[in-house]
């Protein structure tokens, strides 16, 4: 019995592969560029939508290729209008993403892996297994879906993208950079890389690779403690990527890109919210061109950490500001639906 032909995902075909395929089919190679435009600029999800291609070519493409798009399985709206999405992947896995609307921004928070392997103690995703990396198209699809939602729900285009959802982006390096290219290219969505932030828990050698690749997007480091002993407790990755190693990699990255670093610092009650903690953070941050985002903690069922008291947060920020450090205190969005920082754990089901 003849086995049915396994079709290839059209969005994993390179431009060269498409040109070669078209030649084999006695079609003009320039049509590969048209196909790419439909895929990445117009974000179509069927060959029938490629209306400047002949019906015959569309049928040929359908016989050899298929789409494996991401779709919205379900969504949930917070009291503050933040929207959390469960995205369904073609292989039946799910990841989560968030649309965060404010008066000045419309931000998409997207995932780079199904689950995570880093086991950060305060993060719900860290208690999940890492099942696999997302490919570039799956990351791109999240952006397109949230972009469409922003326009439909709030009549506002997407302004910013943060790779701060499920997974560690630098452990899915190629797909993340490929997705940024699709999002920023004039042949893709055409967004400015300055409106994209990739957040890492701190993989020193990959931060250096970002420098070598002279990336144009913003880099954020989830720091959360500025001494190794405390950081080891909450982020096991620090044992193999110490603060000294991270400092060296960040300075290398800055030297190559001239992009300032953003340090993300979640303040936990009576753990890292004291003036001594602020002093240690200042001593670390002053060595690296940077700014600091102080982030409220969003408790999760798996951990006993609590958010710092408001008075402690204010004193912490004031200590840094007096020493000319640029500080932003970020208030939580979407925590009533487990959509806030550190809360994504695949609980939003279809």
Which residue numbers are catalytic?
Answer: 96, 341
> What are the CA-CA distances from residue 69 to residues 11, 44, 89, 180, 247 (Å)?
9, 10, 7, 18, 39
Distance of CA 111 to the CA centre of its chain: 5
CA–CA distance, 14 with 12 (Å, rounded to integer): 6
- 150-167 burial by CB neighbour count: b if 16+ within 10 A, else e? beeeeeeebbbbbbbbbb
What is the token pair recorded at 309? 């008291």
DSSP state, residue 241: S
Written in H, E and C, the secondary structure of 276-310 is HHHHHHHHHHCCCCEEEEEEECCCCCCCCCCECCH
CA–CA distance, 97 with 117 (Å, rounded to integer): 18
**Contact criterion met (CB below 8 Å) for 109 and 98:** yes
CA–CA distance, 199 with 66 (Å, rounded to integer): 32
> What are the CA-CA distances from residue 154 to residues 40, 161, 210, 272 (Å)?
24, 17, 34, 37
């Amino acid at each position: 019995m003849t086995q049915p032909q396994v079709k290839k995902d059209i969005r994993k075909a390179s431009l060269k592969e498409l040109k070669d395929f078209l030649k084999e089919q006695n079609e003009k190679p320039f049509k590969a560029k048209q196909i790419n435009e439909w895929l990445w600029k117009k974000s179509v999800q069927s060959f029938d939508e490629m209306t400047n291609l002949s019906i015959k070519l569309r049928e040929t493409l359908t016989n050899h290729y298929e789409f494996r798009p991401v779709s919205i399985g379900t969504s949930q709206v917070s009291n503050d209008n933040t929207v959390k999405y469960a995205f369904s992947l073609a292989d039946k896995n799910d990841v989560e993403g968030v649309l965060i609307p404010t008066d000045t921004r419309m931000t998409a928070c997207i995932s780079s892996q199904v689950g995570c392997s880093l086991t950060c103690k305060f993060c719900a995703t860290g208690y999940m297994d890492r099942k696999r990396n997302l490919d570039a198209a799956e990351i791109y699809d999240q952006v397109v879906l949230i972009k469409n939602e922003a326009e439909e729900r709030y009549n506002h285009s997407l302004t910013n993208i943060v790779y701060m959802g499920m997974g560690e982006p630098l452990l899915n390096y190629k797909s993340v950079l490929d997705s940024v290219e699709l999002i920023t290219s004039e042949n893709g969505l055409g967004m400015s890389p300055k409106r994209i932030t990739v957040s890492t828990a701190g993989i020193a050698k990959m931060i250096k690779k970002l420098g070598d690749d002279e990336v144009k997007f913003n880099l954020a480091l989830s720091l959360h403690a500025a001494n190794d002993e405390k950081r080891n407790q909450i982020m096991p990755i620090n044992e193999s990527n110490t603060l000294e190693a991270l400092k060296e990699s960040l300075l290398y990255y800055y030297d190559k890109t001239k992009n300032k670093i953003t340090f993300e610092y979640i303040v936990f009650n009576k753990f890292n919210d004291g003036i001594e903690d602020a002093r240690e953070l200042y001593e670390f941050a002053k060595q690296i061109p940077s700014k600091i985002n102080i982030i409220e903690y969003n408790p999760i069922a798996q951990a006993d950490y609590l958010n710092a008291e408001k008075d402690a947060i204010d004193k912490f920020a004031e200590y840094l500001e007096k020493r000319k450090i640029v500080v932003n205190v970020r208030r939580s969005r979407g925590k009533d639906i487990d959509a806030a920082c550190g809360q994504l754990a695949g609980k939003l089901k279809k």
